[in-house]
Amino acid sequence: MDAELEDEFSAFVEASAHSLFRSALALTGHREQAEDLLQTVLARGVRHWGRIRDNNPEAYLRKALYREQASWWRSRRRGREVSVEHLPDLAVTADRTDRVDLGLVLRHALARLAPRHRAVLVLRYLEDRADAEIAEILGCTESTVRSQAARALARLRTLCPELETIDMAHTTKGVQGK
């Protein structure tokens, strides 16, 4: 790769790495795995930079993130899942630490979802993607996306019943304020 393309790729990574990392973290649930996933995808992206730079490279690399993660899911046996008898109790307090507790429980519940279900939820609710985009990224139909989302949400409600008790207006304001 020549110096000009290398500088262009570096500038692109500097501008979009945070957004891509956020998606990788949501997909993997672990900071170290997200870093590995993003590094793998960026290493492949730099090799193809001359070809992808003019055709929405962030979308290309984001799609590569989901596909690489799906590949990792397939190659790793499901033996990494850790089951616990009871989820931790959440204390109801007036301060905002209850949100931290809820976030930890939610993260644990998300980690227990099937990989495809988690990918659908990340794409739909974290990245605000349309069903057609999600279907294209995951290589399935829109109806499959909708059914996977419904199943994922039902499973999430089972794994994390604390979600039913939170004040959605309060939570939405907190998310928008970030």
Residue 167 to residue 148: CA distance in whole angstroms: 26
Residue 18 to residue 62: CA distance in whole angstroms: 12
The larger pLDDT score, comparing residue 151 to residue 75, is at 151
- pLDDT, tens digit (0-9, with 9 covering 90-100), for 3-54: 888 899 999 999 999 999 998 988 888 899 999 999 999 999 999 898 888 8
Domain edge (last residue) among 31, 47, 78 = 78
**pLDDT for res 88:** 63
The larger pLDDT score, comparing residue 148 to residue 109, is at 148
Domain edge (last residue) among 39, 55, 78 = 78
Check whether 59 has a pLDDT greater than 90: no
Domain count, the chain: 2
- Confidence category of residue 77, pLDDT binned at 50, 70, 90: very low
Helix H, strand E, coil C: the string for 26-94 is HHHCCHHHHHHHHHHHHHHHHHCHHHHCCCCHHHHHHHHHHHHHHHHHHHCCHHHCCCCCCCCCCCCCC
Both tokens assigned to 53? 């730079």
First to last CA, the chain: 38
Range of the domain at 47: 1-78
Check whether 174 has a pLDDT greater than 70: no
**pTM more than 0.75:** no
Over the chain, what is the mean pLDDT? 81
Domain edge (last residue) among 78, 111, 128 = 78
Check whether 151 has a pLDDT greater than 80: yes
The larger pLDDT score, comparing residue 92 to residue 123, is at 123
Both tokens assigned to 149? 């989302």
The fraction of the chain above a pLDDT of 70, given in percent, is: 79
Sign of CA dihedral 50, 55, 59, 65: negative
